[in-house]
Amino acid sequence: MIRILFLESSKNFGGQEMRMLDLVKSLDKERFKAIIGAQVKSFLSKNKAQLGVKIEPVSMRNALDIKGIIKIVRLILRHNIHLVVAYSGKDGWLGLIAARLCGIKIVRMKNLELFKHKTSYNLSDLVIVPSEYIKHFLVHRGVNEEKIRIVYPGIDSAIFRFRQEDRSRIRQQYDILDDEILLIYSKLKSQLLGINYRVGFC
């Protein structure tokens, strides 16, 4: 069985945290065991009993939080972790230091254009991005291209599938002509999430 420790330093609960939870819950329980190390007093830590996954609170006040590094090392050793997966800046550095101290690998997940330092990415074993655009963004800022892998987000076709009757009903309900382009965007209105490119494409 492969044991994975996921780290998330954000105190909020948005798209990134939802994707991480979905990923953890979708793992084959016979092949993988997953634990989430979440920021102390974060949404994940406060609601760990209701979220249906194992969550451990970890201090992540900054990228060199000694208390946090010690806690992550203890989690790795206690649960015999094989791989660390980190999402953000602070947990990326803390996970990197702890993984190297324990002699295991670390994977960085990068979904947005928020970026400060290339170093922690280049010191990681693998960087996973959701698109060619984010890959080029990182490479342009000095991240080693050989470490980057593109994994496109999956879509549950049982939920999201085209139905002509739904299309007609929605357009009639909101008075949208049949030949008009309809853009549905369910995220924050931010250039970091690519809204300007979507609007420009339309």
Q: What pLDDT, on a 0 to 100 scale, did the predictor assign at position 68?
A: 97
Residue of higher predicted confidence among 104 and 22: 104
Token pair recorded at residue 52: 């249906």
Are the beta carbons of 91 and 9 closer than 8 angstroms?
yes
Tens digits of per-residue pLDDT, 72-86? 999 999 999 999 999
Side-by-side strand order, sheet with 148-150: 54-58, 32-39, 2-8, 83-86, 105-109, 126-129, 148-150
H or E element that contains 175: none
35 assigned to some structural domain: yes
Mean pLDDT of 65-71: 97
pLDDT band for position 188 (cuts 50, 70, 90): low
Q: Are residues 168 and 133 in the same domain?
A: no
201 has pLDDT over 80 = no
Instruction: Count the domains in the chain.
Output: 2
Range in 81-85, 91-95, 181-185 with the lowest mean pLDDT: 181-185
Cα radius of gyration rounded to whole Å, the chain:
19
Mean pLDDT of 95-103: 98
Are the beta carbons of 113 and 139 closer than 8 angstroms?
no
Nearest to 123 by CA among 108, 135, 139: 108
Tens digits of per-residue pLDDT, 44-57? 999 988 898 999 99
To the nearest whole number, what is the mean pLDDT of the chain?
Answer: 88
Q: Are residues 43 and 78 in the same domain?
A: yes
First to last CA, the chain: 46
Tens digits of per-residue pLDDT, 109-168? 998 777 778 999 999 999 999 989 899 999 999 999 999 999 988 777 777 777 888 888
CA triple 114-115-116, angle to 5 deg: 135
Q: Are residues 54 and 134 in the same domain?
A: yes
Q: What pLDDT, on a 0 to 100 scale, did the predictor assign at position 202?
A: 46
In percent, the amount of the chain with pLDDT more than 90 equals: 60
> Can you give the residue range of the structural domain that contains 169?
164-201
Are the beta carbons of 123 and 96 closer than 8 angstroms?
yes
195 has pLDDT over 90 = no
Q: Are residues 179 and 141 in the same domain?
A: no
Q: Are residues 11 and 84 in the same domain?
A: yes
